[in-house]
Amino acid sequence: MILSDILTFLGRLHPMIVHLPLGFLILAFLFRILSHTEKFQHLNQAVSLVLLAGTIAAILACVFGYLLSLTGEYDRTLLRNHKWMGITLALVSFVFYLLSSGRWITIPDRIFTISFTGLVLLMVYTGHHGGMLTHGREYINLKILTKNKRIKPASMDQVYLYEDVVQPIFEARCGQCHGGGKNKGGLSMESINDLLTGGKSGPALVSGHSLESELYKRITLSVSDEKFMPANGKPPLKSHEIDIIKWWIDHADGLENTKLTDIKGNDTIRNKVAIVLGMAPPQENKEEVFTAQKINPNIPQIFDSSAVENLRKKDWKVRIMMHQPAMLDLTKMASNASDIKDALADLKKLSGNIIWLNLAGDKLTEKDLAFLSDLGNLERLRLEGNPVSDELCNRLKDLNNLEVVNLNETKVSPIGLDLLKKSPSLKRIYSGDPAGK
Amino acid sequence: MSEHHDIPFRLNLPDFDSIHDKMDRRRFLTKTSFGLGTMALGSLLGNSCVQNSSKIITPSSGDLESDILKAIPHLAPKAKRVVYLFMSGGPSQIETFDYKPSLTNMMGQGLPDSVRNGQRLTGMSANQGILPVAPSIFKFNQHGGNKTWVSELLPHTASVVDDLCIVKSIYTEAINHDPAITFFQTGNQLPGRPSIGSWISYGLGSDNDNLPTFIVLVSKNAPQDQPLYARLWGNGFLPTKYQGVQFRSGKDPVLYLNNPDGYDGEDRKEMLEYLYKLNEQQNSAYSDPEMSARISQYEMAYRMQSSVPEVMDLSKEPRQIFELYGKDSKEPGTFAANCILARKLLEKDVKFVQLYHQGWDMHGGLPSAIKKQCKDTDQATAAFITDLKRRGLLEDTLVVWGGEFGRTVYSQGKLTATDYGRDHHPRCFTMWMAGAGVKAGFSYGETDDFSYNIIKDPVHVHDFQATLLHLMGIDHERLTYKFQGRRFRLTDVEGKVVKNILS
């Protein structure tokens, strides 16, 4: 395993090393051309040496390139061509070195220079293939100059299901690994033909049957499944995108050149298509709303863990209710004035994080509880049993997120409760004597 | 006399030779070869495995268990504590909450095959010539703001119906007591998995260091017809310290907490310290998890000597409380007394309290038996809800009431105008929840006219378990424990949170 990692690492140096033979061979060619002029005649002597350097560099590039090819993440045909051209180039360079060194056979100067041009052309073409492998077939392409970018359809009647909707989804979500010459798992997703041909797991698309189509299966697996696509933690497709792909396979038989409005029953999918094309605002997925609970956005994402440690040392129970945002539930029952005083510094550091607070007991007065005003995100407060009075209500009514407050068996009077009831966020107040003492 | 206790341990004392000997060749080889083997394996597999997974799970400490625990809570919890009133034996839904007035006209007629639909019956009624439809002989009345039908057997529960979230469409897979109750408590019909309380205790830890996180109380004033086993609150394969601790249903819930007269307990403390050192010694030699569990149990027991008498002391409860819970509540060990005890434990932030009340298995003589069962539990149950609500504890406490299955619409044995029995029925029955995070005054799910099949919103046992964990802030799919080579969870590979009952 470690060995293969080293090999992969070396392989990845190939795109860097290939520039050495490129440079050497061009330099040799340049010297050779220039040597035909009188002024630079002497350069001819250097051609042989530079060619030797180019040959060695080319062989090295071949070896590293072979290591890179072992990772198997490339278009096979392109790769094969590139490999053999590279090897040929290295051999031809060697032959040219022998020729130029004059130790083998001598050929006329002109013929040598002309055939040297052939070597350079071969090199350029090999390099171009290499470029296509890493950047995609279409990366350097004259068509780019003339290509019409597809214009976004203006109305639903003009929408071609595959060209305008499905292919852009593929390009955005899958293109990084299954497009532009990078065919992970042997699959390209650039055209419908590519999908029908498929990859290692067979055809990706079975016309008319989404449930048999590997493509649809992979995007609908559980995220934790190792076969799930997009792989490696890339964001999963949105549910409306998945629905569109399914509908396209089932109702449009996975074909191109079909207008959305030409297919029967398109009303079910129209809204979703509109979302993808930006014609309608994204719908909130019910599932997402459910998992994303209503959470006060002012709660900080992190909390001061040393403050929590300090409180725990002082016998406070600190319960983490949520990691992000960082919501805390603090409990210190039966505490007295000095307990609170001791903890004030730490409580202050956590003031935004304290969401639930339980100080039930029988010793605290409102003087001890002045710090409550800082707890802007507090939602639940238990103070039952403590001799707190109406003055506290003044303080509590300004806590904008306080929903539940327990004032059972305290000295708070109906006047104080009326004051509290003015708080818009407060939902329930407990102010009785549950034990009936 | 006990000076020698102060002498520190020295491993070269001959007394410890036996411990040294334990680290013999064989042990050395097993320990080290395993250790070296894992290291080698780790470096072989490590790269590929870690590389692939680390992209998804970041940042990994390399320890699966601690990663899982660190991620908890997965969502902000609504409930901080759970109290589960388990009605063991299978209470009849037809006599309690699932009102089926149309059955009266069909009394004595055979259960239509189209309803039974070939369902397997227990051996107790499978060979009956006729399965006669038996309507409830008890009347139902509407109660609360939503005019919920509740049986006359449960007048007190009916008075708090506005606080309950009644699920009429729960169903299970097992048809006999032991597998059914094991399924409910552990998520699997076969014994050996951790119970709900153990999972919660493992996942969320303790909110009170002086009391167990998971406490079990079994009523003594109930027919002990179907047995309960300690494995129902067992820890299964989780570390032993997460098992439920059962309190006795007598005068002393935990024995030997009080010192005998004339004894100050000083040398016991010394003995325990000495024992602790001894256990630590063993622990460092063997690293047996049972050893650390034992140490923590001893420590807990020691702390309980002061915490338990305080919490168990009902003498300070005012008269009104006993009146609220009913006259049984003065007698320790009854369901009513256990309810008061449960409330006191919840006040101390004990995370999971489970009450068991047996005797709901009514194959014959159901009318008189269920009358007694309801009388023993109804008032205390309602009082419990009321009491928690008044104290504000219902805000963050989830109360669950229910059995392991329901009972058949047909009579097992002879049906007369005043007497009948009902067999086990797993296909539909009623449970209720109340408190933190569930809708109050709400009914969910519907059964057909025979209370035989569910016609709307079925809730599987695993769905219920998933919902319970959800309310405690746990995603049931992410609380797992690796044992014997695979990861286990409470809901196995199923379970969906019942979103519609969440408030």
CB distance A380–B48 less than 8 Å?
no
Min CA distance, B297 vs chain A (Å)?
A: 21
pLDDT, position B59:
46
Check if the beta carbon of residue B383 is closer than 8 Å to that of residue B339.
yes
Same domain, A6 and A141: yes
ipTM score assigned to the predicted complex: 0.82
Residue A356 maps to a domain: yes
Do A166 and A248 reside in the same domain of the chain?
yes
Domain end position, chosen among A249, A282, A315: A282
Domain carrying residue A412: 305-430
CA distance B433 to B170: 12
When CB atoms are compared, the residue of B55, B387, B396 closest to A434 is: B387
Instruction: Judge if A123 and A181 occupy the same domain.
Output: no
Residue type, A108: P
Residue B391 has its nearest CB partner, among A293, A404, A408, at A408
> What is residue B20's predicted lDDT score, i.e. its pLDDT?
52
Q: How close does chain B come to A373, measured CA to CA in Å?
A: 22
Would you call B75 an interface residue with chain A, using a CB distance cutoff of 8 Å?
A: yes
DSSP result, A212-243: G-HHHHHHHS-TTSTT-SS-TTPPPPPHHHHH
Cα–Cα dist B82/A238, whole Å = 36
State which of A282, A314, A339 marks the end of a domain.
Answer: A282
Find the residue in B nearest to A327 (Cα). Answer: B76
pLDDT tens sequence across B51-110: 443 333 344 455 778 888 988 899 899 999 999 999 999 999 999 999 999 999 999 999
> What pLDDT score does B44 carry?
47
Q: What is the pLDDT of residue B15?
A: 57
State which residue of chain A sits closest to B49, comparing Cα positions.
A1
Decide if A293 is inside a domain: no
Residue type, B239: P
Kindly give the parts of chain A with pLDDT less than 50.
284-292
Cβ–Cβ of B207/A384 closer than 8 Å? no
Q: What is the pLDDT of residue A347?
A: 94
User: Do the domain assignments include residue A215?
Assistant: yes
Q: CA of A435 to nearest chain B CA: how many angstroms apart?
A: 7
The per-residue pLDDT for B48 is 42
A5-12: long-range pairs with CB below 8 Å, 24+: A5/B47, A7/A67, A7/A70, A8/A67, A8/A68, A8/A70, A8/A71, A10/A64, A10/A67, A11/A64, A11/A65, A11/A66, A11/A67, A11/A68, A11/A69, A11/A70, A11/A71, A12/A68
Contact B473 A321 (CB under 8 A): yes
Q: Which of A288, A322, A407 to mutate to test the interface with B (most CBs of B within 10 A)?
A: A322
Question: Which of A321, A383, A403, A428 to mutate to probe the B interface, most B CBs <10 Å?
Answer: A321
Note whether residue A288 is domain-resident.
no
Query: Does residue A336 sit in the same domain as residue A267?
Result: no
Of the candidates B390, B391, B499, the beta carbon closest to that of A290 is on: B499
CB contact under 8 A, A384 and B80: no
Q: Does B44 touch chain A (CB under 8 A)?
A: yes
Do A114 and A175 reside in the same domain of the chain? no
Nearest CA of chain A to the CA of B415: how many Å? 46
Identify the pLDDT of residue B17. Answer: 57
A249 and A343: one domain? no
Residues A165 and A135 in one domain: no
| Domain segments of chain B as ranges | 18-60, 65-260+290-501
If you classify domain B65-260+290-501 with CATH, what class do you get?
Answer: alpha beta
Contact yes or no for B390 and A430 at CB 8 A = yes
Task: Mark whether A163 and A136 lie in a shared domain.
Answer: no
Q: Which of A2, A321, A432 sits opposite B73 (nearest CB)?
A: A321
Name the stretches of chain B with pLDDT < 70: 1-62
A141 and A171 housed in the same domain:
no
Residue length, chain B?
503
As a whole number of angstroms, the distance between CA A254 and CA A209 comes to: 9
Give the count of domains, chain A: 3
A10 and A65 both lie in a single domain: yes
pLDDT tens per residue across span B486-499? 899 999 999 999 99
- In this structure, is residue A369 part of a structural domain? yes
